[in-house]
């Protein structure tokens, strides 16, 4: 590889790595073994306390650049990586996920055909041991297919993302360096910085963010033994705030106060209904679902009338 080519690779890949000694090798291999060879791989060890750093440094491929830092969380680590990229395109891979060997080849062909600034694909869920979760009744598959079905129903990415994050992970992002610079840094949300980022990307480049829905080009790791805990609560609280924010972005300024008030009351009603049902009939408590469906439908009808 010439010096000029190594200084200006076609694709820059960022891996933020933290305590993934079991998986980091597979992640790195999936980048270096791509059918598109003109790339650089930037691995940033975010204060790992296991052997992640040693494994990365054992690689001798000149395309790999390694950095070490104290733990700063994923979004800060990705932002550091963005400041180091030299490629025309930028991709991100979490240190426990894996690319298919032809991911970049297929995305580049699609991007050239459609003039995309950002491309995402479908994903393949896998376990810690690499086993694919193929059962359609598996909980994650039900959630993901629901989001994909809604996308196909409405035919609009922004609307579909308000319903659910079918990008799934930052590992699914492939974008031009121009788009990455325009959108800027990842925000300081521990669990949903990818979700916030894709909304900002769609707002910055309307009709230039595309979904290769029929191509499964990323293995997404669902870890064994994940449990419901405080992260699930915080994640949903962040989700509420993002949905409110990016719903408002599509509503004319003079109507946003009405939509915000209705959405806030929806949450309150859901909590109240759950509390009341739990007291009166614990076995029939249904949470926010009935209130959510009714008020969401009402808001949709009201906004539709206002925008005519």
Sheet with 89-92, strands from edge to edge, namely: 64-69, 39-46, 11-17, 89-92, 174-176, 118-126, 209-221, 98-99
Q: Is the pLDDT of residue 52 over 80?
A: yes
| C-beta of residue 84 within 8 angstroms of C-beta of residue 4 | no
Coil/strand/helix, residue 44: strand
Question: What is the C-alpha separation between 198 and 183, in angstroms, rounded?
Answer: 9
Confidence grade of residue 117 (pLDDT, cut at 50, 70, 90)? very high
Q: Is the pLDDT of residue 231 over 60?
A: yes
CA dist list (Å): 258 to 167, 248, 261, 264, 292: 30, 10, 5, 10, 16
- Beta bridge partners of residue 17, listed in sequence order: 45
Q: Read off the tokens for 294.
A: 């009714």
- The neighbour count for residue 273, using CB atoms within 10 Å, is 18
Q: Is the pLDDT of residue 297 over 70?
A: no
Question: What is the C-alpha separation between 213 and 24, in angstroms, rounded?
Answer: 27
CA dist list (Å): 75 to 27, 42, 47, 174, 281: 18, 15, 14, 16, 43
Q: Is the pLDDT of residue 5 over 50?
A: no
Confidence grade of residue 229 (pLDDT, cut at 50, 70, 90)? low
* pTM reported for the whole predicted model: 0.85
Instruction: Provide mean pLDDT across the span 270-276.
Output: 81
Q: Read off the tokens for 220.
A: 């997404």
Confidence grade of residue 213 (pLDDT, cut at 50, 70, 90)? very high
């Amino acid at each position: 590889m010439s010096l000029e080519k190594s200084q200006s690779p076609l694709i820059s890949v960022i891996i933020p790595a933290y305590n993934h000694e079991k998986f980091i090798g597979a992640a790195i291999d999936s980048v270096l073994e791509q059918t598109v060879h003109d790339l650089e791989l930037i691995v940033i060890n975010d204060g790992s306390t296991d052997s992640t750093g040693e494994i990365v440094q054992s690689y001798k491929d000149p395309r790999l650049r390694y950095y070490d830092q104290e733990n700063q969380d994923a979004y800060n680590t990705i932002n550091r990586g963005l400041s180091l990229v030299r490629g025309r395109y930028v991709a991100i891979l979490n240190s426990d996920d894996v690319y298919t060997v032809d991911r970049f080849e297929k995305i580049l062909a699609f991007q050239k055909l459609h003039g995309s600034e950002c491309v995402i694909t479908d994903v393949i869920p896998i376990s810690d041991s690499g086993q694919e979760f193929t059962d359609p009744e598996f909980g994650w598959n039900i959630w993901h297919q629901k989001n994909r079905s809604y996308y196909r129903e409405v035919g609009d990415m922004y609307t579909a993302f308000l319903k659910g994050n079918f990008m799934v992970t930052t590992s699914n992002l492939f974008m031009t360096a121009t788009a990455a610079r325009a959108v800027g840094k990842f925000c300081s949300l521990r669990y949903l910085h990818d979700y916030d980022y894709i909304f900002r990307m769609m707002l910055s480049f309307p009709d230039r963010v595309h979904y290769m829905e029929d191509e499964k080009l990323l293995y997404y790791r669902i870890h064994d033994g994940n449990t419901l805990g405080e992260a699930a609560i915080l994640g949903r609280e962040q989700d509420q705030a993002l949905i409110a924010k990016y719903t408002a972005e599509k509503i004319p300024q003079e109507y946003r106060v009405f939509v915000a008030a209705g959405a806030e009351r929806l949450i309150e009603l859901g909590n109240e209904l759950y509390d009341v049902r739990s007291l009166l009939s614990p076995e029939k408590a249904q949470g926010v679902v009935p209130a959510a469906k009714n008020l969401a439908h009402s808001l949709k009808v009201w906004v539709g009338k206002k925008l005519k």
